[in-house]
């Protein structure tokens, strides 16, 4: 029994899974003799496995994406004559090494040459460096698959006893298993030739072409339909794995790649083997479970889909044959519920067994069965692959010491393809990765984290995944080290700092409203009178006084007066419904509401005493003008700002005095503020940017220019105010800044932007001659706590930056574990500016303000922002969007902020918002809302612009052009006020051909190919059910019919009859003589001539 179990353990995963499935079903193994030698010669259809490779070759004929270079270093006396003879015998033994691929009757076939001479090119080399360069060059040379052989062999000689033997084989006729077959056969043929004896090799019962014929007969009918049904159910609504990339994903799949190899720690193998023996699973299950768990950790997804290769040699007769048998299968894992690692291993075992027992379906057929949403920027179904293999020793040549030498094509077929090679305690993990997406450092860091996670998981398999560390110690410390500078928070208050400015520069201007100046001394006297009045009403620390005032000098006086009384000020928005105002005032238990007579009617239901400032002038005139005795301390609340709550109940955020002082100290240093500065007061008082405007000015001795409502609501009046006042410092919402003319403001030196994401174009417009800062901070911190200065020219939206003084910022997963650099996670912040919490909401405060488990935050608390960010390798943070702002469209996850950034980069766009919208049928679409000011919007050009930057599924289906986007009181886009689009009615008549070219394409080529008589010239080939193989057949037919040369790449850009007809007509006209062109035009209708001319112009553009 022990020996049987050992044999079972050595079986390939697909054979083991198939046997276990039969045993579970209690069935006798089905008798299937497999392929048999064919009795005829001549061309043979491609196997289903080969078809996608042929399609890819048609799409990218000049790329070595499917080349397989491998190289051996040979030290010793090499018999080159015996080696050449062995290669000749090898080619005679294996038909695949004599195979090429061509087209017959509009379909690809493989042609086997009866014999083929072997050219082993001998190259003299002077150094190892020269050999390595030659290997790189050779690996990059593509194959012309129409011409045999689809493999090359080169022998590089460094010395008489030192050679490099390079094989480069096209995947069309070869796979990894074949490499082992080749090494074994070549070794025996070399031995026999060298010694003049017959090789001890059994005749091959079948060849690869026999397998191709058998596969097409065997994989049909009910067997194929059963497999299709299983896979459709298995992959229904399967998500795209959102593994974070170092660079934006190109809009079309690319294959530029590189490879890395990392040695795994010896203790990892021991840990895996020990756990495998203990719980009775294969090491493959444990390695794969760990990989799936790391995919979850990096992507944040519980539903994880990866690829895994299947050797696909189910019959012993195929084990000694070279050819392309390998098949990619799709493993889908459910990691929900924070399971233990042991539970994940158990789930993985089930997934692996079920998947490999249904692994006879070729990957191309699998795509046809499942029909995943088409995304030209990604490989279908999966983008990351994982495999495990035992170490295959290099070729054993008699009398020669052989070792493997590294070589690579410089391509990658997937985003990442990971493989673990086990060799006792010296296992390695290799990765072939797409260099357009990833840096080598990222790949190496993942490999190290994977090893660390698996060691920890095997040591504690009963531990939930969220408690298993996935960062090695060095990176763990690194990602927690990106905090702001530390400095003592001064134990003082806003009022103390303001009164110090009054004493220093009392007769200088503090405030200007509607061109009326108020000095520091006058502002202080007016605030003191009102403060004494409030003290008489009972104001003191711990009390709250609400403010509902027009934008005037009295509003600033009121803020200072409340603070001088020791109370906290609570700004109210008078435009809010009366019921909401009453709710907020009651929740805060405000002592009184300061207002004026123009607003008393709106505040009648507030339920608190109204202090009407323009009606108590006489009382205030007799009040003391001296500074009240300071009663509030640094730990008392300075202000309360209410924000909307998810339950509909607004929540009040409590900010303490010391937090405001720390913030002002920081921005004074960061912006180099002086009494000479002139700060624009634009923000509504119930938006915390007003804290920056008020106190950055008044606690510095600078001037505050308060914009009244008439100036805030008119772009021209606002610009006039900024221009005549010589404003030097602004903090404006991006939506407002997009409408201003930066060249008008010569004095402006500091531009502080925040509140929401903004485009690179905005930065580039405002940067010249001034300093621009991107600021981030929710209401739950004091204005801003992360900042990035944005000098120079930008191509993409700037990061939000690094934490400010006395602050920390961490990027954590849902279980509050730090994530690696580059991995999206929730932004969790802490420090001196953190709010005390929510007023009267202890449960919510406890939920959102959590203890700092890392010991990094001043004050020992962190706030969960709910914002999705990622950290760059230098520590700076990039804002992605709200965690709850991710949407799914046709199963694909989309971050609305990324789409908005793409639209915002289009010239002329002033404002943008992107929102999901469901039509009458319930189908979800993206809608782009765009304002271009007074200019027009060219939607076609905008779509072309987006097509160069975003995957097709991220481009909005509809655009709504608005004069201005609706804004809320904070200056942000009011998304609830955006109108529904007016889409064209669906299900209308099919768009008929307008030209003879379109008619031929629709009726004579595409229609018969797809067996569809209702094809419109604007219909997408793939949405009509076409697949990649049919696309290649379609292009072949078009090229033959019209005598043109259209590539698959042209077709994939826009797979519609109208687009292809345009290219056909343009190419035909381009190649015609003048006489031929005139004859053609005379035979065409006016409509056809107009359409063709338009297409020619489009092609020229």
Residue 812 is predicted with a pLDDT of 94
Residue 985 is predicted with a pLDDT of 31
Which residues fall within 8 angstroms of residue 25, CB to CB, at 6 or more apart? none
Residue 151 is predicted with a pLDDT of 96
Write down the residue that tokens 């690579």 correspond to. Answer: 408
Q: Per-residue b/e over 54-92, b at no fewer than 16 CB within 10 Å?
A: bbbbbbbeebbbbbbbbbbbbeeebbeebbbbbbbbbbe
8 Å CB contact between 354 and 13:
no
The CA distances from residue 410 to 63, 145, 151, 153, 436, in Å, are: 10, 19, 18, 19, 12
pLDDT tens across 938-966, in order? 887 888 888 776 766 678 878 899 988 99
DSSP 193-245: HHHTS----PPPS--HHHHHHHHHHHS-HHHHHHHHHHHHHHTTTPPPP----
Residue 477 CA to residue 949 CA, distance in Å, equals 35
CA dihedral 35, 39, 42, 46 (to 10 degrees): -10
Q: Which domains does the chain have, with CATH numbers?
A: 44-212 (3.30.559.10), 494-732 (3.40.50.12780), 890-988 (3.30.300.30), 996-1100 (1.10.1200.10)
Low-confidence ranges of the chain (pLDDT < 50): 1-8, 27-29, 891, 983-988, 1095-1101
Tokens of 600: 């008393």
Which residues fall within 8 angstroms of residue 350, CB to CB, at 6 or more apart? none
Residue 280, CB half-sphere, CA atoms under 13 Å: how many? 1
User: Terminus-to-terminus CA distance in the chain, angstroms?
Assistant: 73
Closest-CA residue to 854 (of 809, 897, 892, 898)? 809
Q: What is the pTM of this model?
A: 0.77
Residue 1097 is predicted with a pLDDT of 47
Residue 424 is predicted with a pLDDT of 75
Residue 1028 CA to residue 862 CA, distance in Å, equals 51
The beta strands (E) that lie in 565-666 are given as: 568-571, 592-595, 609-612, 637-643, 651-656
Write down the residue that tokens 């794969």 correspond to. Answer: 288
8 Å CB contact between 894 and 867:
no
Residue 953 is predicted with a pLDDT of 64
Strand partners, 570: 546
Residue 94 CA to residue 321 CA, distance in Å, equals 7
Tokens of 389: 């293999």
Which DSSP symbol is given to 576?
Answer: S
Own/partner contacts of 707-711, CB < 8 Å, gap of 24 or more, are 707/551, 707/680, 707/681, 707/682, 708/513, 708/514, 708/550, 708/551, 708/552, 709/550, 709/551
Residue 755 is predicted with a pLDDT of 76
Residue 40 is predicted with a pLDDT of 84
8 Å CB contact between 434 and 414:
yes
Residue 571 CA to residue 547 CA, distance in Å, equals 5
Residue 524 CA to residue 546 CA, distance in Å, equals 20
Closest-CA residue to 446 (of 435, 430, 460, 457)? 430
Closest-CA residue to 441 (of 242, 299, 248, 246)? 246
pLDDT tens across 737-756, in order? 988 999 999 999 999 998 77
Residue 380 CA to residue 115 CA, distance in Å, equals 38
Which residues fall within 8 angstroms of residue 897, CB to CB, at 6 or more apart? 757, 879, 880, 881, 885
State residue 111 phi and psi, 5-degree precision. -115, 130
8 Å CB contact between 697 and 497:
no
8 Å CB contact between 34 and 213:
no
Closest-CA residue to 135 (of 108, 164, 92)? 164
Residue 74 CA to residue 400 CA, distance in Å, equals 6
Percent of the chain with pLDDT over 90: 64
Write down the residue that tokens 């048999």 correspond to. Answer: 36
Residue 986 is predicted with a pLDDT of 32
């Amino acid at each position: 029994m022990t020996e049987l179990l050992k044999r079972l353990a050595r079986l390939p995963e697909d054979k083991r899974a198939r046997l276990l499935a039969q045993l579970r079903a209690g069935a006798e193994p089905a008798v299937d003799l497999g392929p048999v030698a064919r009795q005829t010669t001549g061309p043979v259809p491609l196997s289903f496995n080969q078809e996608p490779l042929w399609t890819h070759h048609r799409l990218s004929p000049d790329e070595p994406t499917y080349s397989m270079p491998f190289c051996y270093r040979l030290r010793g006396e090499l018999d080159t004559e015996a080696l050449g003879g062995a290669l000749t015998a090898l080619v005679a033994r294996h038909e695949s090494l004599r195979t090429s691929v061509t087209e017959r009757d509009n379909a690809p076939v493989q042609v086997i040459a009866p014999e083929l001479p072997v050219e082993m090119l001998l190259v003299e080399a002077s150094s190892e460096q020269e050999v390595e360069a030659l290997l790189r060059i050779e690996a990059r040379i593509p194959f012309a698959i129409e011409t045999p052989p689809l493999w090359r062999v080169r022998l590089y000689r460094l010395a008489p006893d030192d050679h490099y033997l390079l094989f480069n084989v096209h995947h069309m006729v070869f796979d990894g298993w074949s490499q082992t077959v080749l090494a074994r056969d070549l070794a025996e043929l070399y031995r026999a030739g060298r010694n003049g004896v017959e090789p001890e090799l059994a005749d091959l019962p079948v060849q690869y072409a026999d397998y191709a014929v058998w596969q097409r007969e065997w994989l049909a009918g009910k067997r194929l339909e059963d497999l299709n049904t299983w896979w459709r159910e298995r992959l229904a609504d399967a998500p795209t794995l959102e593994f974070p990339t170092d660079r934006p994903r190109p809009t079309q799949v690319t294959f530029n790649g590189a490879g890395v190899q990392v040695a795994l720690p010896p203790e990892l193998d021991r840990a895996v083997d020990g756990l495998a023996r203990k719980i009775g699973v294969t090491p493959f299950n444990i390695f794969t479970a760990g990989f799936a768990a790391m995919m979850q950790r990096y992507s944040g997804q519980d539903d994880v889909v990866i690829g895994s290769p299947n050797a696909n040699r189910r019959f012993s007769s195929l084990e000694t044959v070279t050819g392309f048998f390998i098949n990619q299968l799709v493993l889908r894992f459910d990691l929900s519920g924070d399971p233990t690692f042991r539970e994940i291993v158990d789930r993985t075992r089930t997934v692996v067994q079920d998947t490999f027992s249904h692994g006879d379906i070729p990957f191309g057929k699998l795509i046809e069965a499942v029909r995943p949403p088409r995304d030209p920027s990604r490989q279908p179904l999966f983008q990351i692959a994982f495999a495990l293999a035992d170490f295959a020793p290099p070729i054993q040549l008699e009398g020669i010491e052989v070792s493997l030498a590294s070589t690579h094509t410089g391509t990658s077929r997937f985003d990442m393809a990971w493989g673990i090679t086990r060799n006792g305690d010296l296992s390695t993990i290799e990765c072939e990765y797409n260099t357009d997406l990833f840096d080598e450092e990222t790949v190496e860091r993942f490999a190290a984290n994977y090893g660390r996670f698996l060691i920890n998981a095997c040591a504690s398999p009963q531990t939930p995944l969220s408690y298993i560390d996935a960062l090695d110690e060095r990176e763990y410390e690194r990602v927690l080290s990106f905090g702001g500078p530390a400095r003592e928070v001064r134990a003082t208050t806003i009022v103390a700092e303001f009164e110090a400015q009054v004493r220093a520069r009392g007769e200088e201007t503090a405030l200007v409203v509607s061109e009326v100046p108020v000095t520091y001394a006058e502002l202080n006297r007016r605030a003191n009178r009102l403060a004494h009045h409030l003290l008489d009403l009972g104001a003191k620390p711990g009390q709250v006084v609400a403010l509902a005032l027009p934008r005037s000098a009295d509003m600033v006086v009121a803020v200072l007066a409340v603070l001088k009384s020791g109370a906290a000020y609570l700004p109210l928005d008078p435009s809010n419904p009366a019921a909401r105002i009453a709710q907020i005032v009651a929740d805060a238990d405000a002592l009184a509401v300061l207002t004026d007579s123009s607003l008393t009617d709106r505040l009648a239901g507030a339920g608190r005493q109204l202090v009407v400032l323009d009606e108590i002038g006489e009382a205030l005139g007799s009040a003391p003008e001296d500074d009240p005795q300071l009663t509030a301390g640094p730990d008392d609340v300075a202000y309360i700002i209410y924000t909307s709550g998810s339950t509909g109940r607004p929540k009040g955020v409590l900010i303490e005095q010391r937090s405001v002082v720390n913030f002002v100290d920081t921005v004074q240093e960061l912006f180099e503020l002086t009494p000479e500065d002139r700060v624009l007061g634009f923000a509504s008082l119930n938006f915390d940017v007003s804290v920056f405007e008020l106190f950055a000015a008044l606690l510095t001795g600078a001037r505050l220019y308060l914009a009244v409502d008439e100036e805030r609501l008119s772009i021209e009046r606002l610009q006039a105010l900024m221009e005549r006042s010589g404003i030097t410092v602004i903090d404006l919402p991006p939506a407002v800044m997009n409408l201003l003319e930066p060249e008008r403001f010569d004095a402006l030196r500091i531009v502080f932007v925040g509140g929401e994401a903004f485009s690179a174009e905005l930065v580039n417009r405002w940067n010249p001659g001034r300093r621009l800062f991107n600021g981030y901070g929710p209401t739950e911190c004091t204005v801003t706590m992360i900042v990035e200065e944005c000098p120079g020219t930008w191509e993409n939206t700037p990061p939000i930056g690094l934490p400010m003084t006395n602050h920390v910022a961490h990027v954590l997963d849902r279980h509050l574990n730090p994530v690696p650099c580059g991995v999206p996670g929730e932004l969790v912040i802490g420090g001196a500016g953190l709010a005390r919490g929510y007023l009267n909401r202890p449960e919510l405060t406890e939920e959102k303000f959590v203890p700092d488990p890392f010991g990094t935050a001043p004050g020992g608390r962190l706030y969960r922002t709910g914002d999705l960010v990622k950290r760059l390798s230098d520590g700076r943070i990039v804002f992605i969007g709200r965690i709850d702002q991710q949407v799914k469209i046709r199963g694909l996850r989309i971050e609305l902020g990324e789409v908005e950034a793409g639209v915002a980069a289009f010239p002329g766009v002033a404002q943008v918002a992107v929102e999901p919208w469901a039509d009458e049928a319930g189908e979800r679409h993206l809608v782009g809302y765009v304002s271009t000011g007074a200019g027009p919007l060219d939607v076609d050009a905008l779509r072309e612009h987006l097509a160069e930057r975003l995957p097709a599924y991220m481009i909005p289906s509809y655009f709504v052009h608005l004069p201005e986007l609706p804004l809320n009181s904070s200056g942000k886009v009011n998304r609830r006020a955006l109108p529904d689009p007016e889409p064209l009615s669906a299900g209308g008549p099919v768009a008929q051909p307008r030209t003879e070219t379109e008619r031929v394409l629709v009726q004579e080529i595409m229609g018969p190919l797809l067996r569809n008589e209702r094809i419109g010239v604007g219909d997408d080939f793939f949405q009509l059910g076409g697949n990649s193989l049919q696309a290649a057949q379609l292009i072949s037919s078009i090229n033959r019919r019209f005598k043109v040369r259209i590539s698959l790449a042209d077709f994939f850009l826009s797979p519609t009859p109208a687009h292809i007809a345009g290219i056909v007509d343009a190419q035909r006209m381009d190649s015609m003589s003048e006489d031929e062109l005139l004859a053609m035009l005379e035979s065409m209708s006016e409509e056809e001539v107009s359409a063709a001319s338009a297409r020619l112009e489009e092609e020229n553009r």
